[in-house]
Amino acid sequence: MTARIIEGAPVAERLRADVATEVARLKAEHGLQPGLAVVLVGDDPASQLYVKSKGEQSRAAGMRSETHLLPGDTTQAALEAVVRKLAADPGIHGILVQLPLPEPLDETPVIELIGPDKDVDGLHVVNAGRLVAGLPALVACTPTGCLELIKATLGDLTGKTAVVVGRSLLVGKPVAQLLLAENCTVTMAHSRTVDLPAVCRTADILVAAVGRPRMIRGDWIKPGACVIDVGINRVPFDDPEQAALGRTKVVGDVNFKEAREVAGSITPVPKGVGPMTVAVLLANTVKAAKLQAGLPA
């Protein structure tokens, strides 16, 4: 058996099209243009490329887009001043500060300044708490994207057994809550789970978000399982000549070559979960704009 490849791009494209349609409707019927501001501290090339993509896609959807590039030596006070100004701007409905921040900057007070209404990354304690309580909330983009891919692949998830490997606030914990809301039986595991391979083998749905390259092997996977690989890890090329030149490639947390021979469906890395993250960010911004305007979300 060779697994079906779950491509993120087609699902993300449909979501972006829906966002563009809704943006056009909001402009026409309510004079409302959703606005997204992205803040990046430092000059990491991968982050710069990612932030550029967010700006391009938000403008393509007809949204207002702002990008604030701050130097790597930006102080905590200077960063907070930028976020405070954006939080007070009525034309900005969503704020995303690219994480992680360079040391010694502290993300916690920055997220608090964004506030729950403009927290389109779903990291504010109010949004996290509402998610746990089963109340409407702005939910982190990557977990929401994971759920959309799973549902597009499997349909109704009621009664499925899900294992989430990873317990981060950004992915592991929220994706577990989303799967619970879909009536899955969910186990949260991590790198210190006793007999992690055996736990993984119970999963109809396996979400890997542990941050370790190719950690999850093929024999950890239940035959026919749906595998969602959230990992983004840079490793040297397998080819010694390429590796000697210092060249790297991106791989996931799952050993893709082994896993695709066992799983029923699997996301590739890249081009799996990644395209969904930005699409959900746009959708979250539209949702935030409607809530701030007193319109049904």
- Active-site residue flag, 173: no
Structure tokens at 31: 């004079």
- Active-site residue flag, 121: yes
Residue 107's CB: how many other CB atoms inside 10 A? 13
Q: Strand, coil or helix: what is 103? A: coil
Structure tokens at 104: 């010694």
The number of residues in the chain equals: 297
- Separation between Cα atoms, residue 218 and residue 31, nearest integer Å: 52
Q: Which candidate in 119, 121, 204, 229 is catalytic? A: 121
DSSP letter for 155, please.
Answer: S
Q: Which candidate in 98, 118, 204, 287 is catalytic? A: 98
Angle at 166 between CA 54 and CA 288, to 5 degrees: 35
- Active-site residue flag, 98: yes
Residue 10's CB: how many other CB atoms inside 10 A? 11
Q: Is 59 left (phi over 0), alpha (psi -120 to 50) or beta?
A: alpha
DSSP letter for 254, please.
Answer: B
Spatial strand order of the sheet with 94-97 comes to 64-70, 35-41, 94-97
Task: Give the active site residues.
Answer: 54, 98, 121
